[in-house]
Structure 1
Amino acid sequence: MLKKKQQIYQGRSVKKFNEIRDILDIYHVKYTYQVKDTVNDTGSDSPLSFLGRQQGMAPRAFTGSAGVAAEDLKNYCIYAVEEEVKTKVPEHLLKEIWNPL
């Protein structure tokens, strides 16, 4: 039976993202991940963003990113089968992986 992967981490910290991936790799837990770049996010509300994408410009060009920390420009997600994580990763490391959503 196929088990559905669930989101086990979502955040903006690349350091935490890499720490969790390292733990999962060490204990041979299969996972997938997604990195969403909010600078080039195509879901912008601006009517001009469509024209910007046609010209190869990011929607951020219309809204600006001044004052936004570089760390906050990407969103990291990790997906894995929860039961596999709980059985393969030692108990004391589980608190390093789980983050309440």
Structure 2
Amino acid sequence: MSAAKIKKGDRVIVLSGKDKGKTGTVAQSMPKDGKVVVEGVNVATRHVKPTQADPQGGLKRQEAPLHISKVAHVTADGKPTRVRFEVKDGKKVRVAVKSGETIDG
């Protein structure tokens, strides 16, 4: 699985599931698991008991990982696109399939 097509800091859009259509920035990429964590998307709520470290307890919200196939890179105009690799000037770079623009510098 080529999970390197989506990296930390990329703007992505969710393609399926309860958060379909939401956009966000990739906070964490897990290439071995084929998952990404997107800020503000797929937020899970946990009921946490008060402890000495956290005397308040209560409801804690945290972003849960999404499978990489459920997200797509977002172009400058806000539309989803697939990503391909090209070699430019002897360097492997990511390129948006729809627009042809280079994602990596």
> If the length of structure 1 is used for normalisation, what is the TM-score?
0.25
Higher helix proportion, which one? 1
Identify, as 1 or 2, the structure richer in strand. 2
Higher relative contact order, chain-length normalized (CA < 8 Å, sep 6+):
1
TM-score when scaled to structure 2? 0.25
